Chains A and B, each alone.
Chain A
Amino acid sequence: MTNSAALLRERIQVTLGTRCEPAFLSKKRLEESLPSVVGEIPRGALTEIAGPPSSGRTALLHSLLAASCAVPEFCALLDANDTFDPESAAAAGVRLSQVLWVRCGGNVESAFKAADLLTQAGGFGLVAIDLGDSNEKRVYRIPLTIWFRLRHAVENTRTAVVVVARQINARSCSALKIELSRNRAVWKGWLPGCPPGCLLDGFQVTAQTVRKHQTQERQFHIEP
C-alpha cells in the first residue's frame, strides 16, 4: 500500500508538476524508516535492542517513540515488567497521549499476545515490546515461530516492531540488531571523593548495529 501510494504520488507529480502540491498532496514524504541516533530503524520489520541494565536501551526506545509520535503516529508499548516511567518518557519528547501502554505485570506471554493483536489490527507506527527486565532464560526460550509470526505480521506494513531485551533473541527474524553497552556514566562536577551536590550527566554508550550481516559501531552520549 505504501509503495503503491508513493508510486501514485510520483506519477501525479510528474504529470501535474507543482500544480498539484498545494491542492491535495502532502509535501512530506512517507518515511520508510524511523530516524534514530544509531541509524534508520526499518518499518515493516523487527528490530532488537539489547544490552545490560543502564546501557541506554530505554533511552533509545524512548527516542524512537518520540520520533514516531512526532510524525504523528500512534505507538504501542507492551511493557512486560511494568517498568515504563511516563515522566521520563514525557521529558524525552514522547507524547504520552499517542502511546498505548499495556502493562503485562511480568507476563511475557501476554506481551507477545498483545503484540500479535496490535500488529494484526494495523495502523500503529511503532509497536515496542519491552522485555528489558524479564528473565533472560525465559525470553531466550521463546520459540522461534513466535518471532517469525511477529515478523510476518508486520511485513509490508508501516509498523516498526522494536524489542528491548538483555540479549539478542530473535536471531534471523530481526532485520536490525542493536547491542548497547555503557562505556561510563558521566558525573558533572565529580571528583574523587564525590562531594554531595554533583549531578548525573548521562552515559557514554557504544552501539553495535548488525544489519544484513554488516556490523557498524558508533558511540553517542545520552543526555540527562
Chain B
Amino acid sequence: MFVCLHAPGNLPLLVECARHFSPLIEETAPDAVIFDIRGLNWVFGSPEQIAREIEQRVGIVANLAIACNPDAAFHAARGFRGVTILPLGEEAAILAPLPLFLLGGSPEFARVLDLWGIRTFGQFASLPALGVAARLGDEGVHMQQRARGEDYRQLRLLVDPLVFCEERELEDAVNLLEPLLFLFSQMLRELCERLRFHGRSTNEMHVRLKLERAADHIATLRLPVPMLDSKVLLKLLQLELNDRPPQAPVEKIRIELMPVEPRSTQHGLFLPASPEPEKLAITLARIRGLVGAENIGVAELMNTYRPDRFRLRPLKMAAPVAVPLRPKLTLRRLRPACPAQVLCADGKPARITSSQGRGQVVASAGPWHLSGDWWSDEVWDRQSWDIEVRNGGVFQVYQERLTDWFIAGHYD
C-alpha cells in the first residue's frame, strides 16, 4: 500500500510528515510525496484509520490518497480533494473521471489524444490496448496502464545526503597545537573509516575551531585528488595550522569531510613515474609554507601580447610528444624590470648604464613597437631592442612611452 500526500508549496512539511510513518519515501513532484505504508495496518488498523492518523499528523490542508500502486495514489491525490482510498481492483473505476492532463506524458502524446477527443482517464483506459500500442507505441501502453491504475513500479527513494562531520567540545580550552593534533587525528581516523564504509573518498576538508573570546577560526583544505588517508589529511591540516595558527585557545572543534567518488587509476609497470598525489600534496603544502602560495604552481600564458603575463595553475600530465633537442634562445627576465640609462646615437642604443652593468653597445636590433590595453587603465606602450654589450651579455631593453629605459632581461 502506498500513500500520496499532495499540497502545493509545502513539500518540506509533507516529507517531514511522511518520515513519521515510513522510511521509504519518494519526492514525486514539487508538491507531492509518496510513501510505503505496508505493515502499518498492524499499528493503526484499516486504511481509513491510517489516513486519519496521517491527516492529524500533517497539520495542513492536504489531499491524501491510498492505493496499491504509487501512480494510482499520485493521480488520485492530485485529482480528488480530501481523502481518497482506492481498493485493489477498483483503481480504474475511481480514476476514470479525472482529466487526462493529470496523466502527464510527452506533448506529442497529449496532442494526439486531444485530436482523438479523449478527455478523461476513463476514456483512455477503455481504448483497446492493441490499438493504443500500434498507434502510440510504448509510451501509449505505459500511459494506459497508469490510467487504469495498473502500473506497478518501485519508489525512487529519498536518500539523506551523507554528511561526514565530527564535533568535539573540549572541557578546557586548548592553546597548543600538539594536543589539538591528537584530537584531530582521532576525529580524522573515525571520519575516514566512515567514508571507507560508504565507499567514498574526500577532496575537501572544512575545519571550524570555536575560539575563546574570539571569532571562529575557519580553515578549508582543497585536495588535488580524492583521498582517504587520515595521516595525509592530518599532515595537511597541521601544515595549514602551522602557517595560520588560531589566535586564541580552542574550545570546540568541528571537522567536515566532503564525500566524493574514490579515485581509480590504472598503474602500469613500465610507465614513467609521476609524483604520488598524496605525497605531492604534502610536499606542495610544505613548499607553500616556504615561499608563499602565490609563488608555486605551473605557469599558464595569458591571451595577451603584453610581455610577461601569466598565471599559476596546478600540475597536470599530458600525452608524450617528440621535441627537438636543439636549445632555443631564452630570456631570463628581471622582475621588476631594471631601470637603465641608455645613450642613443643615430636613433639606436649606443651605451647603457644600469645596476646590471655598463658598457658600449656593439650590436642592436630593433626597435619593435609593442602596445596594448589602451582601452583600460593598464595601458602600455614600449619600444623594444635587443642589444649586445661589449664584454657583457645580450639584453632585451625597452623604452617605456618614449621616456624611461628598462632592461627586461638578458638572453641566455
A72 to B, closest residue via Cβ: B320
Q: How far is the CB of A44 from chain B (nearest CB, A)?
A: 12
Q: What A residues does B295 contact at CB under 8 A?
A: 102-105
Is B159's beta carbon under 8 Å from chain A?
A: no
Given known pairs A26-B271, A70-B322, A105-B295, the reply for A83 and B329 (CB within 8 Å) is: no
Q: How far is the CB of B152 from chain A (nearest CB, A)?
A: 49
Q: Cα distance A90–B309 when bound, in Å?
A: 13
> Is B333 in contact with A97, judged by CB distance below 8 angstroms?
no
Given known pairs A85-B409, A97-B315, the reply for A121 and B329 (CB within 8 Å) is: no
In chain B, positions 278-326 with a C-beta closer than 8 Å to chain A are 279-280, 282-284, 286-287, 290-291, 295-301, 307-308, 310, 312-313, 315-326
Is A142's beta carbon under 8 Å from chain B?
A: no
Contact with A along B393-412 (1 / 0, CB 8 A): 11000000000000001111
Q: What B residues does A63 contact at CB under 8 A?
A: 325-328
Q: Cα distance A92–B301 when bound, in Å?
A: 14
In chain B, positions 304-361 with a C-beta closer than 8 Å to chain A are 307-308, 310, 312-313, 315-335, 347-348
Q: What A residues does B273 contact at CB under 8 A?
A: 73, 122-123, 125, 158
Q: Which of A47-55, A146-154, A168-176, A210-218 touches B?
A: A47-55
B283 to A, closest residue via Cβ: A121
Contact with A along B371-408 (1 / 0, CB 8 A): 00000000000000010100011100000000000000
Q: Which of B43-51, B62-70, B362-370 touches A?
A: B362-370
> Is B323 in contact with A83, judged by CB distance below 8 angstroms?
no
> Is A222 in contact with B329, judged by CB distance below 8 angstroms?
yes
Is A60's beta carbon under 8 Å from chain B?
A: yes
Helix, strand, loop or mixed for chain A's interface?
Answer: mixed
> Is B315 in contact with A58, judged by CB distance below 8 angstroms?
no
Interface residues on A, range: 35 or more
Q: What B residues does A8 contact at CB under 8 A?
A: 269
Partner of B301, one of A24, A26, A58, A87: A87
Is B270's beta carbon under 8 Å from chain A?
A: yes
Given known pairs A121-B283, A194-B363, the reply for A91 and B328 (CB within 8 Å) is: yes
Q: Cα distance A62–B268 when bound, in Å?
A: 28
Q: What A residues does B331 contact at CB under 8 A?
A: 85, 87-88
Q: Cα distance A107–B286 when bound, in Å?
A: 16
Interface residues on B, range: 35 or more
Is B171's beta carbon under 8 Å from chain A?
A: no
Q: How far is the CB of B387 from chain A (nearest CB, A)?
A: 9
Q: How far is the CB of B249 from chain A (nearest CB, A)?
A: 31
> Is A58 in contact with B332, judged by CB distance below 8 angstroms?
yes
Is A71's beta carbon under 8 Å from chain B?
A: yes
Q: Cα distance A58–B325 when bound, in Å?
A: 14
Given known pairs A36-B325, A121-B279, the reply for A90 and B365 (CB within 8 Å) is: no
Q: Cα distance A125–B317 when bound, in Å?
A: 12
Q: What A residues does B39 contact at CB under 8 A?
A: none
Q: Cα distance A100–B328 when bound, in Å?
A: 20
Q: What A residues does B363 contact at CB under 8 A?
A: 185, 187, 190, 194, 198
Q: Cα distance A58–B282 when bound, in Å?
A: 29
Ranked nearest first, the 7 interchain pairs of A and B with the lowest CB-CB distance are A123-B275, A54-B393, A86-B299, A59-B327, A88-B330, A58-B412, A103-B295
For this complex, 24 residue pairs linking A to B, each with C-beta atoms less than 8 Å apart, are A5-B270, A53-B392, A54-B411, A55-B412, A59-B328, A59-B329, A62-B330, A63-B328, A72-B272, A72-B318, A74-B315, A83-B334, A85-B331, A85-B333, A87-B301, A88-B329, A88-B330, A100-B315, A114-B291, A118-B287, A122-B275, A185-B394, A196-B366, A224-B328
Q: Which A residues form the contact surface with B (CB < 8 A)?
A: 5, 8-9, 24-26, 30, 35-37, 52-60, 62-63, 66-67, 69-74, 82-93, 95-105, 107, 110, 113-114, 117-118, 120-125, 132-133, 158, 185, 187, 190, 194, 196-200, 202-203, 220-224
